[in-house]
A and B are shown apart, each in its own frame.
Chain A
Amino acid sequence: MLEAILVISLLSVVFGLLLGFAAVRFKVEGDPVVDKIDALLPQTQCGQCTYPGCRPYAEAIASGEAEINQCPPGGEAVIHALADLLDVDFKPLNEEHGEHSEQTVVVIDEQVCIGCTLCIQACPVDAILGAAKQMHTVITDECTGCDLCIPPCPVDCIYIVPVKDTLQTWKWPYPENQLENEVVS
């Protein structure tokens, strides 16, 4: 009886030390799930999900605070990916947050711009170039299409334009299949 107690308590001490050591030695900084969720989000930083950026939204999803269907720029593709990652059911996009639309960018009408720098301060990815009382311009390649620069503009000189297909970015359409569509409907 005494031996058994001794052996068990010795084992528990050994394993306890082992676990304690592992906790210190293999400590992971940050939450890996948040990183995984963040990697799936489109990084427009538009805030349509009601969180101030993609990472805060990822944190909110990870903590169970937010739903997975609050990201209009990501659309269904992102919701599917999140559902796969988190092993939850797919939900259609919550329309309260906006509708999924084609990729857009903004352009500044340089004739009208007064150089107030308000849009520069609003841009979450520093994609607007300019200085006070100097003309501003959008670095199109860096623009995520979040449209956050539009409300602050005092002279309404920022426009949304769709991204035009080039030979490099053009996509083959999904094949239309009349017969199968008829069968389905």
Chain B
Amino acid sequence: MKPHLWRFNGGLKLDGHKSMSMHEPVVEAGIPPHLVLPLQQHIGSPAEPIVKVGDTVLKNQMIAQASDYVSVPVHAPSSGKVVAIEEHVVPHPSGIKATCIIIETDGNDTSIEIDNTPVDYLNLEPSALRNIIREAGVVGLGGAGFPSFIKLNPGPDTKVETLILNGAECEPYITCDAMLMQDAPRKILDGLLIMRHALKAEQCIIAIEDNKATAHTMLVNALHKHESDFIKIIQIPTIYPAGGEKQLIKVVTGKEVPTHGLPVNIGVVCHNIATAAAIADAIHERQPLIERYITITGYGIKHPRNLKVRFGTPIEFLIQQSEPLNIQQCIMGGSMMGFELQDQTIPVIKTTNCILTKNHKYKAPAAMPCIRCGECVKVCPAQLLPQQLYWYARAKDFDKTQDYNLFDCIECGCCAYVCPSHIPLVQYYRFAKTEIWAQERDKQKSDAARERHEFRLFRLERKKAEDEERKRRKKELLKATAGDASAEEDKKKTAIEAAMARVKAKREQQNAHAANIDNLTDAQKKAIEEVEQRRIAARQKKQAAVKNKETSTS
């Protein structure tokens, strides 16, 4: 019985160019002389290196650990020596550099010992299960690279009805998921069972676009009979971008993810099929994520095909193996959403799914004014108004762009593809999005600065008040002690006075009792008087001299 499917708005029927890279079987790309491993290969915070320059590392060894909740570790894809931890160009549209661990491989590919006793995941707590998946460095391999363990944690009160495995792979040229489904269907199903256990999901759906009939057949054949009760493998129409998470959920369940919401809000969780395979490896073989399937295709090489590539392998190493013909342009990702690579030393990372080589350089035709034809509205799979968004983004009216739900745009490029005026619409939306994020960051920063400034003013005020208080106290203390001192002085003074009075009294007493002047003759009295007179005169003379001296000096 054919399952009932829904339809998302718009979308495009594109020429897939898929068969060109599916003729040859998947081969190992081998070990390049140098592996360049960016610390950030996922959404979230970059990992922190736990090796030093000069360290010898073995294959599968953890070389950088998660630094935050939204972060996963990085493992060494092969054995060798860490030769540098430095800035290197990473796969990003900006072409800017980020910190990478660079390993010079020794070619032996010696692995660390892995305890490969299979984990009995059915008897494991979902949190322990998630932890193993996190430690294995598993992120969403569909393109965004969100740490998978978080998406396997719906929260205590959330019920997951449907777990969808995304095998749509809607973007032209990319075939790595299709090849994986053909090569390892059982592994994908094993991964799905683990995810189902972690999420306690009621039903599981694997959705595959109907242009991948072989992949569909392989998966159906690999499905055990009892599993078909809760796992449905369905084919969906090939319409770009059916592989977008929200679009796929709409097609499969008929439900729409609310604006600013997550699929889990409507009881749906969506993972990529390659992520399921990586989780199966992590649980059953305790194998960390160190390699993946990558499509190398396009008209710039002789052997378009899929390769099993270790992370950190430079793009040029892959191109050399595929016999380059005349590469004019190199794109990471597909033809719709990919970005141009400026540098061929850029490494493959966890989220790389395709290297598209071109034998001619595409130059966008000059944009003409918008003629308001409305084609973009018809094709928009997010049911937005691309034309309105364009006007407001162009005018840098970011509030208005948000009123028109700019952040629901998935940057699929359908609007720009159909635009008869060749307006680079998606570029405007990307510009507006990053500009809004920057404004939000600035706002946070200025709020923090305001708080710090106000605290500083408060601190200075408080210090001033404290200083004044201290001064006042000191003054008071001085005053108090000064009062004590004067009292002491008074005491001393009175003591001195008392002593002087005592001396005087004593002298008077002595004078009173001086017997030697009692019985004197008149002559004697006279002589004494004369002496006394002279003494007074001499004293007066001396006083006068002192006075004279004082006046002359002054």
A68 to chain B, nearest CB (A): 17
Q: Is A166 an interface residue (CB 8 A)?
A: yes
Residues of A within 8 A of B6 (CB): none
Contact status of A42 and B94, CB under 8 A, knowing A124-B456, A171-B435, A177-B367: no
Q: Which A36-80 residues have a C-beta within 8 angstroms of B?
A: 38, 41-45, 53-54, 77
The verdict on B505 contacting chain A, using a C-beta distance below 8 Å, is: no
Q: Does A126 contact B (CB under 8 A)?
A: yes
Contacting residues, chain A, for B430 (C-beta < 8 A): 172
> Nearest Cβ in chain A — how far from B452, in angstroms?
4
CA distance A43 to B450 in the complex (A): 6
Tell me whether A124 and B453 are in contact (CB under 8 A): yes
**Besides the contacts A175-B431, A178-B366, what 19 more A-B pairs have beta carbons closer than 8 Å?**
A38-B450, A42-B442, A42-B446, A42-B449, A43-B450, A44-B449, A54-B450, A54-B453, A77-B439, A126-B459, A144-B445, A170-B96, A172-B431, A174-B431, A177-B423, A179-B366, A180-B367, A180-B369, A183-B369
Set of chain A residues within 8 Å of B441, measured between Cβ atoms: 169
- Cβ contact within 8 Å between A142 and B448: yes
Check if B295 is an interface residue, CB within 8 A of chain A. no
7 closest A-B pairs by beta carbon, nearest first, are A43-B446, A179-B366, A43-B449, A171-B434, A125-B452, A175-B427, A172-B430
B90 within 8 A of A: yes
The docked-state distance in angstroms from the alpha carbon of A21 to that of B35 is: 76
Give 1 or 0 for each of B339-361: 1 = CB within 8 Å of chain A CB. 00000000000000000000000
Residue from A42, A126, A171 in contact with B438 in the complex, judged by beta carbons closer than 8 Å:
A171
Please tell me if the beta carbons of B427 and A172 are within 8 angstroms of each other in the complex: yes
Q: A174-B431, A175-B428 given as contacts; is B449 within 8 A of A144 (CB)?
A: yes
Q: Is the interface of B mostly helix, strand, loop or mixed?
A: helix
Give chain B residues whose Cβ lies under 8 Å from the Cβ of A126: 452, 455-456, 459
A to B contact number (C-beta, < 8 Å): 80
List, in ascending order, chain B residues with CB within 8 A of A183's CB. Answer: 369
At the interface, yes or no: B93 with Cβ under 8 Å from chain A? yes
A165 partner, pick from B94, B427, B445, beta carbons under 8 A: B94
Contacts of B98 in A (CB 8 A): 166-167
Q: Which residues of A contact B423 (CB under 8 A)?
A: 177
Is A30 part of the contact surface with B, judged by Cβ < 8 Å?
A: no
User: Residue on B with the closest CB to A139?
Assistant: B452
Please, how many angstroms separate the alpha-carbon atoms of A169 and B92 in the complex? 12
Judge whether B50 is part of the interface by a CB distance below 8 angstroms.
Answer: no
Q: Shortest distance in angstroms between B7's beta carbon and chain A's nearest beta carbon?
A: 31
Beta-carbon contacts under 8 Å, B390-431 to A: 423-424, 427-428, 430-431
B40 interfacial contact with A, CB 8 Å: yes
